[in-house]
Amino acid sequence: MIRFRTLSSLTALAAVALAAPVLAQTGQPVEVIRTAPTSVDVRWSGIKAADVFRADTPDTTVATATPVSANDRDGHETVTMPAGARGWFLVRDRATGTVTRAVERVVPLEQGSNFRDIGGYPAAGGKTVRWGMIYRAGATPLLSDADLATIGTLRLNAMVDLRSDEERQLAPTRIDGVRYTAVGYSMKRLMAASGAPPTNGSAVYRGMPVLLTPQLRLVFDLLKRNEGPIEYNCSAGQDRTGFVTAIVLSALGTPREVIVKDYLASTALRRPEYEMPRFDPAAFPDNYAAKLFSYYQSKPELAKPQPLMEADGTPFLLAALDEVEKRWGSVDGYLKQEIGLSDADIATLRAHYTE
């Protein structure tokens, strides 16, 4: 589904973070949440007394990190951060010596939408998904120069664009210098795959397991190589990106309820005015996506993203996962039969992307 709302500045990003408690309900022991353009709140649970350290890179240890707070007992610490900076933090349990690493999930961009890290979530074997390795996002056609500098710090090795040919024509990414791959298809195919109108969210989602098989193969091929961080995106970073994220997290052993909460967070984290530039639809007479996006851009009442669920509260994503289970027996069956992963591949992925 493609929906639009209007936000206008990095200040709005702080408001979005504050309005998204769903991110704080996923069982993560430590979270870093942007509370203002130049500050973040480091929050932890299940620790009576903690030492907090700031790091510049994902592999920094306590020995080389900068102390922020010692013997902290209130469960959080506010830290001043430059706008656009994405600091890493280490929280050490003083009682056990256990160190938990975390970073701000949402990449702080001036003109980006729904660009976030899927690290920190629980994974198989009592581990967590490794931070700084897998990013999900909306389209990136309007990034500022400062945003490009911020994304440069992520050290992306590859991007997989999940969008149709028409969307990529209307809104090419501004990210350069990163290996870029996409699978050509028409926006019409996305809608036709469901046999239902675009307003029928669950029906559209049921077509995704087949439509996005080639893209998922690309994503998993990149992950198996373990060559560095990757990013994948569609236009809003919620529907196609949400399904791909669900499959990736499932492969890593993340519980279904956590996957669904991550999916639903897109409603608060989207900034649609930065997902698609304004354009003259007459300049793209044969572009199906141009017709679709121009319709939404012409309707102010559609400016606010709507919850990703049916009227009864059922998330659209569950329709795609239900289709997977009906056709392949389980997500594991889908990964093996359709995506081509073996048990050894899944074990390797968990070794590389969980800790």
The pLDDT of residue 197 is above 60: no
Name the residue with higher pLDDT: 216 or 14.
Answer: 216
Place of tokens 């669904």: 260
- Helical H runs in 171-269? 187-192, 201-206, 208-211, 213-225, 240-251, 256-264, 266-269
Q: What integer is the mean pLDDT of 274-285?
A: 86
The pLDDT of residue 5 is above 50: no
> What is the rounded distance in angstroms from the CA atom of residue 24 to the CA atom of residue 141?
29
Structural domains in the chain, CATH included, are 108-353 (3.90.190.10)
Q: What integer is the mean pLDDT of 332-346?
A: 98
Q: What integer is the mean pLDDT of 256-278?
A: 95
> What is the rounded distance in angstroms from the CA atom of residue 304 to the CA atom of residue 8?
13
Instruction: Measure Cα distances from 36 to 7, 69, 76, 82, 149 in Å.
Output: 15, 20, 15, 10, 20
Q: How confident is the model at residue 248 (pLDDT cuts 50, 70, 90)?
A: very high
Q: What is the pTM of this model?
A: 0.87
Name the residue with higher pLDDT: 105 or 85.
Answer: 105
> What is the rounded distance in angstroms from the CA atom of residue 211 to the CA atom of residue 283?
28
| Token pair recorded at residue 27 | 């069982």
The answer to whether residues 145 and 115 touch, using CB atoms and an 8 Å cutoff, is: no
Chain-wide mean pLDDT for the chain? 88
The pLDDT of residue 33 is above 70: yes
